[in-house]
Amino acid sequence: MNHTPINLVIAINRLYVKYAYVMLYSFLCHHPEPVSVYILHHELTPEDEATLQTLSQQFAVHISLVYVPDSLLPPPEVLKTSSWGIEAYFRLAITDLLPASVDRALYLDTDIIVNAPVYDLYELDFGSKLIAACKEFTCHPPFGNYRDVLFAPLFEHGFSYFNSGMILYNLAALRPDYSFQTYMDTARKLHYAIEYPDQDLLNYCHYQDTLFVDPFLYNLNARYGYDDYNIHYDELKQRGVIIHYASSKPWRGNFLHYDIEWLWWEYAKHTPFYRQLLEEALRENIMDSPLNPYIADLAQKNAALYQKLETYEQLLETHGGTIS
């Protein structure tokens, strides 16, 4: 069966080349037909490009590095709203940066694993919608944070909040009305009261133009899936399509890990960065792990509970009772 050729977009800096490689490898494993990958960047070197181009030796992929000029970088007023790098804003310039011949494109964050084909997602009918995305797990107000004020005017219209880590863009419909400057003008209108800057702006602009798709298939937040829905590795391996390691990165050693990270490592081991990734994670786990302080804190709390229990035992014995 012939499928619509996929246009895939990512945004990275030099530090994320190896993580992008893992994500792209996972994607290309499941898409044998030609894929066009557009890598938005502001600092990649010819050496970085050569590294990424090695994927074309193994897969039917055409990789294009797209330089983001200074004119499409966010102003200081937007940058100061968070500590995130400029790359988070590149998805706001997709209509400016991609060729006019590209009428739809799938944007993916690089902390994602693609574990199955996404043709059903990519080829969906937008209808009158401009983008397709997945609701956040905490998508409905009240949010209990700044968003209750920022999006208050939209609540009466059935506002739901989506995650910008996976967005399918209807570029043909977006281009007439939306550009990078459109989003920057919106930020100014909102007095820069944004914390998840690109995501907040996309939500504010497109809350009525979004086609919502299944988050358990197309943007499963791995940590939420594990903690809140008891999803473990075996289920994820069999059923997961797009898995988003949005908060706890599998390649980081400085947090408590969980079993569905193993899926990320299964793809990483087929890349030239596998040994480096393992060594970096292990070093961070040994040198900068929160595990020992966490265990020490648990031990201290446990000792305090035992002390309270002993005190209650003594009180009960004094009054002729016992704890069974």
Tens-digit pLDDT profile for residues 80-103 = 998 889 999 999 999 999 999 999
* Amino acid in position 167: I
> What are the per-10-residue average pLDDT scores of the chain (324 residues)?
92 98 98 97 98 98 98 95 92 98 98 98 97 87 89 90 97 98 96 93 96 97 93 95 93 87 98 96 78 70 83 78 56
Residue 192 CB: number of other CB atoms within 10 A? 15
d(CA 39, CA 27): 14
List, in order, residues 6 or more apart from 315 with CB less than 8 Å away.
none
CATH, range 6-284: 3.90.550.10
- Strand duo 112-114 + 61-67: pairing: unpaired
List the end-to-end C-alpha distance of the chain, in Å, as a whole number.
69
CA dist 85 → 73, 81, 82, 89 (Å): 11, 11, 9, 8
Using the CB atoms, write b or e for 199-228: b if 16+ within 10 Å: bbbbbbbbbebbbebebebbbbbbbbbbee
Look at strands 242-244 and 112-114 and give their pairing: antiparallel
Which of 251, 256, 242 has its CA nearest to residue 271?
251
- Residues 65, 37: Cα–Cα separation, whole Å: 8
Residues 10, 20: contact at Cβ < 8 Å? Answer: yes
Q: What is the pLDDT of residues 45-65, one digit of tens each?
A: 999 999 999 999 999 999 999
Where do the H-state alpha helices sit in the chain? Answer: 17-29, 46-53, 76-79, 94-97, 119-122, 147-150, 171-174, 180-189, 197-206, 215-218, 222-229, 233-239, 262-268, 274-287, 291-318
75, 45 contact by CB (below 8 A): no
Domain ranges of the chain: 6-284, 290-318
101 in Cβ contact with 4 (< 8 Å): no
pLDDT at 323: 53
Q: CB neighbours (10 Å) of residue 67?
A: 12
Q: What is the reported pLDDT for 257?
A: 87
Look up residue 59 and give its amino acid.
Answer: F
Q: Is 320 helix (H, G, I), strand (E, B) or coil?
A: coil
Short-list 83, 205, 203, CA closest to 138: 203
Amino acid type, 20: A
pTM to 2 decimals? Answer: 0.89
Looking at residue 219, its pLDDT comes to: 97
112/220 Cα distance (integer angstroms): 9
